[in-house]
A and B are shown apart, each in its own frame.
Chain A
């Protein structure tokens, strides 16, 4: 098999050696249940609390404000449900979000709408960004929650979280942010950014899958998501995934210690990749070019369909992702690309390449060399491209 260039790090990352090393003893030597009073259990308990301290430090909060979960989706569900419940108790049943949140947020909100909540979906404009002013203008007397993702999982745009946090704090509205794509990649400081609730997922920053955390500011009630035990201070029952939690804390600590150098390195690779791919005729970068995650590139190529593009790239050893309907498992292309105002036919031809520190300049050279060939091959057999070239169909990008 040819060399594999993994450029789908927004989907998941490879685990770091540090995370694996940190986890390994917790499968065999330290197998105790942290709820047990004997020594074997208490050693596990210490590991749990040490991990909590590390995660808290990376996010700049207190260890008591961190709750471990099964991942980003669960964290999003619990935070939003919790804030909604609190709001409802005070008669506040309005929530503000953006049109391109992760489905863990959007689907939870859809359910809440059925339960009588009103949700305002802020436009993310063609650049994939909202402004604090737009959030402020949408806040009403009955607004219970503002939930705006830190960085988008598809187009990588980074929202003005500190500014939104300031607006929310001033108006006394709970502010939750899905920081699944941001934590370990760009600075996240819950205190400085006035964040009340936040979700993270370990496998997005070289930690293990199936584990995540939420931050809930002290004094803010958190409702119990899973009943049945006193774990996580009664907010999430179930024996803790100690190995996973330890692995997550090690991965986050490592990622946060290299934030600056990794960010600079990836930004350089990203810019080179964008420059290279934009040379393809009728291509477009999706989302703001500068206010985006260091490793995120998301492009559309007219006249080709994303799934066939992905499969052909895979055959060349390049692992990427697409927002086409065929890859989303539904009939519509990605809701994120549609929220940016892209027409369906253009959104079908999207390609996301999400880089990690493991990628090299040579990887970028290879991708920039291979993608145009695949695009040309597909365009040559595309009746859509033929019509675009003949002027029967109008070029949209």
Chain B
């Protein structure tokens, strides 16, 4: 299949870490059903380490593959490492995404950040606010990226 790399197809057809965590410590949801993709990340955190992570995604093949790869990349990692994860790293780990699908990797990065922020907020943990820019209109941003 020429549309996606073998790695994207592998993560799309056999996604890792699909599901939910009932007693999650942090949950992040980004995207918009109107635009065709929503990503939801669940984190279980112990001593600043992501001990478990699950995702639910509504979206195209690359959105599901990006979610799967992103969860793989942060599982077992300290939060500081997870916060450093960029969309580029997700795309590269998937052996690349078509140009018009790069926003899927952006969603994965944003979903993880949103989940970590949720963890900090819920647990009253102090954090560097600049790491988490104000929530913006996701639809707007989503559109802006492609144009």
Please pick, from B34, B57, B60, the residue contacting A307 in the complex, using a CB distance under 8 A.
B60
Check B12–A305 contact: CB distance below 8 A: no
* Most B CB within 10 A of own CB, among A304, A306, A315, A381: A381
Q: Do A324 and B60 contact each other (CB < 8 Å), given the known contacts A311-B12, A348-B36, A384-B33?
A: yes
B13 at the interface (CB under 8 A from A): yes
A339 at the interface (CB under 8 A from B): no
**Number of CB contacts from chain A to chain B under 8 A:** 76
> In the assembled complex, how far is the CB of residue B98 from the closest CB belonging to chain A, in whole angstroms?
10
Q: Do A383 and B40 contact each other (CB < 8 Å), given the known contacts A308-B60, A324-B60?
A: yes
Check B57–A383 contact: CB distance below 8 A: yes
Check A381–B15 contact: CB distance below 8 A: yes
Which residue in chain B gives the minimum CB-CB distance to A312?
B13
Check B36–A383 contact: CB distance below 8 A: no
The contact size tier of chain B is 20 to 34
Taking CB atoms, residues of chain A closer than 8 Å to B40 are 383
> In the assembled complex, how far is the CB of residue A155 from the closest CB belonging to chain B, in whole angstroms?
19
B132 at the interface (CB under 8 A from A): no
B76 at the interface (CB under 8 A from A): no
Interface residues of B in 131-147 (CB under 8 A from A): 142-143, 146
Please pick, from A306, A308, A329, A383, the residue contacting B12 in the complex, using a CB distance under 8 A.
A308
Which residue in chain A gives the minimum CB-CB distance to B4?
A311
Which residue in chain A gives the minimum CB-CB distance to B56?
A383
Check B100–A325 contact: CB distance below 8 A: no
Please report the C-alpha to C-alpha distance between residue A382 and residue B64 in the assembled complex, in whole angstroms. 10
B59 at the interface (CB under 8 A from A): yes
Please pick, from A307, A381, A384, the residue contacting B61 in the complex, using a CB distance under 8 A.
A307
Please report the C-alpha to C-alpha distance between residue A380 and residue B142 in the assembled complex, in whole angstroms. 25
Please report the C-alpha to C-alpha distance between residue A41 and residue B60 in the assembled complex, in whole angstroms. 52
Contact flags (1/0) for A310-354 with B, using CB distance below 8 Å?
Answer: 011011000000001110010101000000000111001000000
A386 at the interface (CB under 8 A from B): yes
A385 at the interface (CB under 8 A from B): yes
Please report the C-alpha to C-alpha distance between residue A348 and residue B33 in the assembled complex, in whole angstroms. 9
Taking CB atoms, residues of chain A closer than 8 Å to B146 are 331
Check A383–B60 contact: CB distance below 8 A: no
B58 at the interface (CB under 8 A from A): yes
> In the assembled complex, how far is the CB of residue A4 from the closest CB belonging to chain B, in whole angstroms?
13
Please pick, from B19, B37, B59, B100, the residue contacting A329 in the complex, using a CB distance under 8 A.
B100
Which residue in chain B gives the minimum CB-CB distance to A324?
B36
Taking CB atoms, residues of chain A closer than 8 Å to B37 are 305
Which residue in chain A gives the minimum CB-CB distance to B67?
A381
> In the assembled complex, how far is the CB of residue B94 from the closest CB belonging to chain A, in whole angstroms?
15
Which residue in chain B gives the minimum CB-CB distance to A333?
B36
A247 at the interface (CB under 8 A from B): no
Please report the C-alpha to C-alpha distance between residue A314 and residue B2 in the assembled complex, in whole angstroms. 13
Taking CB atoms, residues of chain A closer than 8 Å to B9 are 311
Please report the C-alpha to C-alpha distance between residue A331 and residue B100 in the assembled complex, in whole angstroms. 10
Which residue in chain B gives the minimum CB-CB distance to A304?
B58
Please pick, from B35, B58, B143, the residue contacting A385 in the complex, using a CB distance under 8 A.
B58
Which residue in chain B gives the minimum CB-CB distance to A326?
B60
Contact flags (1/0) for B29-64 with A, using CB distance below 8 Å?
Answer: 100011111111000000000000001111111011
Check A383–B29 contact: CB distance below 8 A: yes
Check A331–B58 contact: CB distance below 8 A: no
Taking CB atoms, residues of chain B closer than 8 Å to A384 are 33, 38, 58
Please report the C-alpha to C-alpha distance between residue A326 and residue B65 in the assembled complex, in whole angstroms. 14
Which residue in chain B gives the minimum CB-CB distance to A311?
B61
A295 at the interface (CB under 8 A from B): no
Taking CB atoms, residues of chain B closer than 8 Å to A331 are 35, 142-143, 146
A303 at the interface (CB under 8 A from B): yes
Which residue in chain B gives the minimum CB-CB distance to A379?
B58
Check B36–A303 contact: CB distance below 8 A: no
Check A345–B33 contact: CB distance below 8 A: yes
Check A382–B56 contact: CB distance below 8 A: yes
Q: Do A325 and B35 contact each other (CB < 8 Å), given the known contacts A331-B146, A385-B58?
A: yes
Interface residues of B in 77-109 (CB under 8 A from A): 100-101
Please report the C-alpha to C-alpha distance between residue A386 and residue B19 in the assembled complex, in whole angstroms. 11
Please report the C-alpha to C-alpha distance between residue A306 and residue B64 in the assembled complex, in whole angstroms. 13
Q: Do A386 and B143 contact each other (CB < 8 Å), given the known contacts A308-B61, A333-B36?
A: no
Please report the C-alpha to C-alpha distance between residue A343 and residue B35 in the assembled complex, in whole angstroms. 11
13 intermolecular pairs with C-beta atoms under 8 Å apart: A303-B58, A305-B37, A305-B59, A307-B60, A308-B12, A308-B59, A326-B36, A331-B146, A344-B35, A345-B36, A348-B36, A381-B18, A381-B64
Instruction: Please report B residues at the A interface, Cβ cutoff 8 Å.
Output: 1, 3, 9, 12-13, 15, 18-19, 29, 33-40, 55-61, 63-64, 100-101, 142-143, 146
CB-based closest 6 A-B pairs = A307-B60, A326-B60, A345-B33, A382-B58, A384-B58, A383-B40
